[in-house]
Amino acid sequence: MMRTGDQHNFEASYAGRRVWLTGDTGFKGSWLAFWLHRLGAQVLGSALTAETEEGPFVRAELSQLYRHETVDIRDWERVAALARESQPEVVFHLAAQALVRRSYGEPVETFDTNVQGTAHVLEAVRLADCPCAVVVVTSDKCYENREEDYAYREEDPMGGHDPYSASKGCAELVAASYRNALFVPGGKVHLATARAGNVIGPGDWAADRIVPDAVRAIHSGQVLSVRNPRAVRPWQHVLEPLVGYLRLGQALLEQGGAVAEGWNFGPDPASARTVGELADIFCAAWGDGASWQATPEAANLHEAHLLQLAIDKAVSRLNWRPKWDFETTVRRTAEGYRAMLAAADADAVRRFMAAEIAAYEAGTGSTDTP
């Protein structure tokens, strides 16, 4: 089942605007950078060097489409200079240490990047002293997860068992502090936060994530090992939350402080499914005998077993809703990886990405190949 949601005129909102996007070399960031470029925005992307040459930022040669600066958001002087020089009208802050399991080995780096880095970006915007709409992207894991059959709402308390989850809860508190104490009502800057679910889609090559692990295993002729097949996650295609971020930025530009708060952009409740179900559908969609097996979880590394998001607020107040159901999301992800792996050059990757965005906007379910 696909749903065709209301169309938002993003081009009218972003064409010609100065947009600063942090984390543009990452998975979600590269898709958002490409989309903003297609909308006619004057994009400034800043991030660390891409961790893999297989991702969209490198494969599509996105740095040729807009201005990109290699910047660590922990470097206060560089971050402040970027904001001061670029005078952004819209900021999408996606730069982060985004892996739960890595946070166990690198807790200080995780907190430095996700908490102090967020403060750097917000302080840089404050000192730039220009009218600006700011969307800080955190995570569904920012909530205090009680492992109950309950969909977390925006007013629920922040928490976090592991360093990654705690850092995202802290980032929410940092953003709330800036919004309440420094970006006062009626001021120049309007700040909102966005919390997405477990995002999948073609182009993610991060370690210790189920779909990239699946592609690496299947592509090399191995059986996929799944360490926690009964864990429930709110799965969604990468384009779903990106539309939420674009819609939230648009609403901030239009309504200012009326929407300057926290927002969930998750899938329909029916897409909160187990890791094992995802592995089943992904392997079937990939074909070629792809299969998976359960393996023991690593000792002493806690990961949530049940996590869901309530999206009523975004549906009712932002007129945003997910379009692709769980099966469509997983199938298009598998087909999309195969299309990107087969793409001969950057132009082919860009054509695929443009076709995928167009298919999403149209609410269709077939994958166009490069």
What is the predicted pLDDT for the residue at 6?
Answer: 43
> Does a structural domain hold residue 292?
no
State the Cα–Cα distance between residues 117 and 95, nearest whole angstrom. 8
Alpha helix positions (H), 221-294: 239-255, 275-286
> Does a structural domain hold residue 244?
yes
Query: Coil, helix or strand for 324?
Result: strand
> Does a structural domain hold residue 188?
yes
State the Cα–Cα distance between residues 309 and 265, nearest whole angstrom. 8
What is the predicted pLDDT for the residue at 227?
Answer: 80
What is the predicted pLDDT for the residue at 302?
Answer: 52
For the chain, the domain total comes to: 1
Residues whose CB falls within 8 Å of the CB of residue 248, separated by 6 or more in sequence, listed in order: 135, 192, 194, 259, 263, 318
> Does a structural domain hold residue 140?
yes
pTM of the model: 0.92
> Does a structural domain hold residue 155?
yes
What is the predicted pLDDT for the residue at 305?
Answer: 57
- pLDDT profile of the chain (370 residues), mean per 10: 56 97 97 98 97 94 98 97 97 93 92 97 97 96 84 92 94 97 91 94 90 90 87 90 98 96 92 90 89 72 67 96 94 94 96 96 58
What is the predicted pLDDT for the residue at 2?
Answer: 34
Single-letter amino acid code for the residue at 333: T
> Does a structural domain hold residue 335?
no
> Does a structural domain hold residue 341?
no
Q: For position 151, which CATH number holds?
A: 3.40.50.720
> Does a structural domain hold residue 101?
yes
| Domain membership of residue 81 as a residue range | 10-200+236-269+303-324
